[in-house]
Amino acid sequence: MTTKPHIPTAAESASDEKQTGRVEAFSDGVFAIAITLLVLELKTPHIPAMPPAEHGPPTAAWLCEELLKEWPSYIAFITSFLSVLIMWMHHHAMFKLVKRVSPALLLANGVLLLAVSIVPFPTAVVAEYMTTPAASTAAALYSGAFVFVALTFVAVLLTALRPECLAADADPKVVRTFRRTYWIGPPCYGLALAAAAFNPWISMAICTALWMLWAGMMLPRRKA
Amino acid sequence: MTTKPHIPTAAESASDEKQTGRVEAFSDGVFAIAITLLVLELKTPHIPAMPPAEHGPPTAAWLCEELLKEWPSYIAFITSFLSVLIMWMHHHAMFKLVKRVSPALLLANGVLLLAVSIVPFPTAVVAEYMTTPAASTAAALYSGAFVFVALTFVAVLLTALRPECLAADADPKVVRTFRRTYWIGPPCYGLALAAAAFNPWISMAICTALWMLWAGMMLPRRKA
Amino acid sequence: MTTKPHIPTAAESASDEKQTGRVEAFSDGVFAIAITLLVLELKTPHIPAMPPAEHGPPTAAWLCEELLKEWPSYIAFITSFLSVLIMWMHHHAMFKLVKRVSPALLLANGVLLLAVSIVPFPTAVVAEYMTTPAASTAAALYSGAFVFVALTFVAVLLTALRPECLAADADPKVVRTFRRTYWIGPPCYGLALAAAAFNPWISMAICTALWMLWAGMMLPRRKA
Amino acid sequence: MTTKPHIPTAAESASDEKQTGRVEAFSDGVFAIAITLLVLELKTPHIPAMPPAEHGPPTAAWLCEELLKEWPSYIAFITSFLSVLIMWMHHHAMFKLVKRVSPALLLANGVLLLAVSIVPFPTAVVAEYMTTPAASTAAALYSGAFVFVALTFVAVLLTALRPECLAADADPKVVRTFRRTYWIGPPCYGLALAAAAFNPWISMAICTALWMLWAGMMLPRRKA
């Protein structure tokens, strides 16, 4: 009738669960809002852009053309949406390994949320300038923002996988894979940042390739 | 006293619940934000629209007229609000049948959220152009966006109802109804898209009729 | 060993709880977003409003004056914030009495959320026009929006307190108080709407007095 | 088989937990949205700002310069983000001590949320005017807003730590520390407000130093 192995009491484990639960719920909120605010960058073409005296009322062909002209906005929207979505998946995969929230983890997670909530800004700049001669600056801002995001992910990982936070039953293999793969982020986005000086399209292509890589790394691990 | 049929242990079922819970909470967040952002498309008429030198300060009649002129915004707001609301209801009805989240379901659900979060954009375009000669382009964009939404719903359905995700106790009748009815969406919205070329009002009427249909399909099923 | 009084099985009650939980979580999201979006109506005064050639760079006194000029925005912000906050409190007080979600309740609650998410729009109109001759139209729009809100609250109440939704252990006294008091809303806001034709300030004063009344009704009931 | 010490029944404790849970979830939503809306103040530089006839299309150097010119926006964004993040941490630390929600606590918490949701407004004003001669007004508005926030924190603390709300098992030491330290806020931000009249940069420096202080006070307490 006595349970020899130390099993946390209801009170203990409830308190542990709760702490992680709150941080995750707040983080989920920030991720969900940041991802949904991206749509605000898709601008309705406005009629005043076409002087009525010269052209008459807006025609179907004109609106169609105006909408098509904004294609860089659509690509920027989709790329950023999927990037934030995959960040959210990784955030949760990481927090599945965490039992207790240390002050350092709280702080690192806060800075990660700051980085995530910034994403709509470089997205808007890329959408507006990717087809102009200022594209290289826009691509540098975008990839630079993701260097920052990748660094905050490493910071969260380093604090989350410390013994005071890590769940006792976390699979050591999964932990090792996390440790090994997260270091790849910052130098890869750094490469995209460097590439922006030469060719903004290569820079953006690297960013896109990277979130496909993160998605790929994510999905098989979940299956296991 | 022994329970022969396999009943998942507390640990097993807790982990299952949790996975769905997170995806649902994040999805709820995106639905709630997308639905509330729609109000930002309702624009306050601005005084500068009326040259003060010619008319004097804004009068009650002028403001009333300006507000009434924006009626397409109000209709677009209500239609999109109810559409997203009913999508949310269907999303939950689907996830009630799901126990485990597969990588494919996570991805399909992510693309569905992308589609949902886009809705405020075509809504704004319809609100601005539905009463101009450019209405057919606006209606095509709107119904086209819903073709995309309907396709992502089919994708989520196909991945959610696979054996690795489906709850063991899901009612086969309900599952069959889902399978049968979700295929209707894409061709119906495709019809609305085609109609936009001839008459934008018919296109919008089909979109409105469709969300009434989805609402109707939803409500009786809940009762059962 | 047999339990004579029918006690719901874990599966039954879990499913009941869950249904309400989801609707409440989604509603909470919409309330929280609608209330926070109100701040977007507080506009930063922009420098171009002052031709630099005539006045030089913006001075501390000029900015102070510009900020003070926007006082109707601040009052509108506070009034609407507190109104939505009190609506949220009433929404929760109502849902504490609910066990099961019927299709009709889902629909009524959806229309209530629509009404709540509209609030930032009349708030912005009042903020911009309350000190102009167009104030009566603005006040009519504002009080008209709250007539709609009040009607949707009655609709949710009527569907929520039906036997198929009401919790078996709901205090009949509390239910009676709800039934008695919610009918007051629509005619009172209707009075504010009528008053707008004569004096917009009286109309707004009635709206303010009403949310104080709702707050007052709310708070003592909670104590009991 | 009889449990002598009074242990709350499932119904009792569930009802207690639930009340706090709802208020916390709603508060989390408002904090998460307020913190994420801050990014909307980071404005994309617009091409029309540069007459095309005079300069040709936008160049990389021009965009870079335009982005760098907005440095006060970035500092304001980071300062406000971290301030709201730390407020959220304190809010949760306080609510960990609370078991029951009194009407007074509900009201005080509502006013606190109002204060939190205002933060993006003074942030935007500071971002636009901190490098102009109007900086002292902007700094006064910013520090004034934080005087209000600090006062609402004191109000929540006073109502939360009353016997009818406080959890029976709250650590008296932690409660005492809260009581002692929260009074520091209003006079400190008052000092920043007074400093704005003399030097806006000193005023902003005090505000920044204060959230570092709050962060420092927060983190060790969590460890214990």
Which DSSP string corresponds to D150-174? Answer: HHHHHHHHHHHTSTTTB-TT--HHH
Across residues B20-48, what is the average pLDDT?
82
Distance in angstroms (rounded) separating the CA atoms of residues A124 and C79: 33
Averaged pLDDT for residues B140-154: 91
Single out the residue of A214, C15, A113, C109 nearest to residue D86, CA to CA.
A113
- What DSSP assignment string belongs to C197-213? TT-HHHHHHHHHHHHHH
Enumerate residues 19 to 48 of chain A having a beta carbon within 8 A of any beta carbon in chain B.
24-25, 28-29, 31-33, 35-40, 42, 44-47
Pick D40 or C53 by higher pLDDT: D40
User: Per-residue confidence at D2, pLDDT binned at 50, 70, 90?
Assistant: very low
Q: What is the pLDDT of residue D151?
A: 92
Say what the pLDDT of residue B83 is: 87
pLDDT of residue B51: 53
Query: Each residue of D134-164: b (16+ CB within 10 Å) or e?
Result: bbbbbbbbbbbbbbbbbbbbbbbbebbbeee
Question: Cα dist. A91→A86, A117, A149, D92, D137 in Å?
Answer: 8, 14, 12, 21, 41
From first CA to last CA, the distance across chain D in angstroms is 36
CA distances C48 to A221, C44, C53, C56, D48, Å, are 54, 12, 11, 11, 14
Please name the helix (run of DSSP H) or strand (run of DSSP E) that holds residue C82, with its range, or none: helix C71-95
**Strand ranges, E, within A33-182:** none
Instruction: List chains adjacent to chain B, taking adjacency as at least 3 C-beta pairs closer than 8 Å.
Output: A, C
Question: Is B134–A36 a contact, with Cβ atoms under 8 angstroms apart?
Answer: no
Who wins on pLDDT, B214 or B123?
A: B123
Burial of C129 (0-12, 13-18, 19+ CB in 10 A): buried
Distance CA A47, CA B193 (A): 23
Q: List the Cα angle D1/D5/D11 in 5-degree steps.
A: 85
User: Among the ranges A95-99, B200-204, C43-47, D3-7, which has the highest mean pLDDT value?
Assistant: B200-204
| Token pair of A61 as six digits | 């062909």
pLDDT at C12 over 50: no
Rounded to a whole number, what is the distance in Å from the CA of D200 to chain A's nearest CA? 25
Q: What is the pLDDT of residue D48?
A: 57
Q: How many residues does chain D have?
A: 224
Lowest mean pLDDT: which of C68-72, D67-71, D171-175? D171-175
Q: Are the CB atoms for A143 and A206 separated by under 8 Å?
A: yes
Q: Would you say residue A202 has pLDDT above 60?
A: yes
Give the chain D residue whose CA is nearest to the CA of A130: D60
Alpha carbon separation from A114 to A140, C211, D35 (Å, rounded): 19, 36, 9
The torsion of the CA quartet C190, C195, C201, C207, rounded to 10 degrees, works out to -10
Give B55's pLDDT tier (boundaries 50, 70, 90).
low
Structure tokens at A81: 């949406």
How far is the C-alpha of D119 from the C-alpha of D123, rounded, in Å?
6
Q: How far is CA B139 from CA A224, B58, C152, in A?
A: 45, 33, 30
D180, A139, C110: which is closest to B32 by C-alpha?
A: C110
CA–CA distance, C132 with C119 (Å, rounded to integer): 21
The residue that leads in pLDDT, D9 or C201, is C201
Name the band, by pLDDT with cuts 50, 70 and 90, for residue B140: very high
- The amino acid occupying position C214 is W
Cβ of C89 within 8 Å of Cβ of D102? The answer is no
What is the percentage of chain C residues whose pLDDT exceeds 70? 84
Strand partners, D98: D166
Name the range with the highest mean pLDDT among B15-19, C11-15, C60-64, C169-173: C60-64
Q: Is the pLDDT of residue C5 over 60?
A: no
Amino acid B12: pLDDT: 41
Q: Looking at A203-207, C197-201, D11-15, D179-183, which range is the least confident one?
A: D11-15
Segment holding A183, helix H or strand E: none
pLDDT at C15 over 70: no
pLDDT in tens, C207-224: 888 888 887 776 544 443
Contact (Cβ atoms closer than 8 angstroms) between residue A86 and residue A149? no
- pLDDT the model gives residue C51: 53
* Secondary structure (3-state) at A166: strand
- The pLDDT of C55-80, averaged and rounded, is 82
Task: Note the pLDDT of residue A218.
Answer: 64
* Distance of alpha carbon B217 from alpha carbon D123, whole angstroms: 47
C89-93, long-range: CB < 8 A, 24+ apart:
C89/C215, C89/C218, C89/D106, C90/C153, C90/C214, C90/C218, C91/C27, C91/C31, C91/C156, C92/C24, C92/D22, C93/C178, C93/C218, C93/C221, C93/C222
CA B100 remoteness from chain centre: 24
Give A183 or D188, the one with higher predicted confidence: D188
Radius of gyration over alpha carbons of chain B, in Å?
A: 22
For C165, list phi and psi in degrees, rounded to 5.
-110, -35
Contact in structure between D55 and D62 (CB atoms under 8 Å): yes
Q: State whether residue B66 is helix, strand or coil.
A: helix
Of D217, D206, D215, nearest in space to D146 by CA: D206
Alpha-carbon A133 to chain mean position: 27
Is C30:C113 a contact under the CB 8 Å cutoff? yes
Burial of A66 (0-12, 13-18, 19+ CB in 10 A): buried
Q: Looking at residue A47, what is its pLDDT?
A: 67
Orientation of helix D135-160 relative to helix D172-182, angle to 10°:
150
Phi, psi values for residue A58, rounded to 5°: -65, 135
Smallest Cα–Cα separation from B79: which of B127, B133, B19?
A: B127
pLDDT of residue C221: 46
Among the partner-chain residues A32, A40, A44, the one whose CB lies closest to the CB of B30 is A32
**pLDDT of res. C8:** 40
Alpha-carbon gap: B59 to the closest alpha carbon of chain C (Å)? 4
C-alpha–C-alpha distance, residues B23 and B105, integer Å: 10
| Distance from the D197 Cα atom to the nearest Cα atom in chain A, whole angstroms | 31
Residue of chain B with shortest Cα separation from A60: B134
d(CA A33, CA A39): 11
Mean pLDDT of chain A: 79
- The fraction of chain A above a pLDDT of 70, given in percent, is 84
pLDDT of residue C83: 86
The reported pLDDT for the residue numbered D140 is 92
If one counts every other C-beta atom within 10 angstroms of the C-beta of residue D70, the result is: 19
Task: Determine which of B130-139, B162-171, C132-141, C214-223 has the lowest per-residue pLDDT on average.
Answer: C214-223
Query: pLDDT for D75-85, tens place per residue?
Result: 888 888 888 88
Q: A90 to each of A93, A103, A121, C10, how far by Cα in Å?
A: 5, 21, 22, 33
CA–CA min distance A102, chain D (Å):
7
Write down the pLDDT at residue C97: 83
Query: Could you give the count of Cα atoms lying within 13 Å of A71 in the half-sphere of its Cβ?
Result: 5
Q: Band of the pLDDT at D218, cuts 50, 70, 90?
A: low
In this predicted structure, the answer to whether residue A14 has a pLDDT above a threshold of 70 is: no
Which A residues in the span 85-144 are in contact with B, Cβ-Cβ below 8 Å? 85, 88-89, 92
Kindly list the residues from chain B whose CB atom is less than 8 angstroms away from the CB atom of residue C25: 25, 28
What the block records as the tokens of C193 is: 């709407």
Q: Which of the pair, C172 or A56, is modelled with greater confidence? A: C172
In this structure, what token pair is assigned to residue D180?
């002692």
Of D28, D37, D58, the CB nearest to A129: D58
A174-183, A184-193, C67-76, D99-108: segment of lowest average pLDDT = A174-183
Q: How far is CA B21 from CA A86, C184, D43, in A?
A: 17, 39, 36
Taking an 8 Å cut-off on Cβ atoms, the answer to whether B40 and A40 are in contact is: yes
Looking at per-residue pLDDT, the higher value among C96 and B7 belongs to C96
CB contact under 8 A, D44 and A124: yes
Beta carbons of C22 and D23 less than 8 angstroms apart: no
Nearest to C110 among B25, B42, B85 (CB): B85
Q: What is the pLDDT of residue C191?
A: 92
Query: Could you identify the residue written with the tokens 């989390």?
Result: D28
**Contact of D115 with D144, CB cutoff 8 Å:** no
Contact partners for chain D, using 3 or more CB pairs closer than 8 A, are: A, C
Distance CA B141, CA B79 (A): 15
> Any chain B CB within 8 A of the CB of A212?
no
The pLDDT of residue B7: 38
When mean pLDDT is compared across B62-66, B102-106, C7-11, C118-122, the lowest value belongs to: C7-11
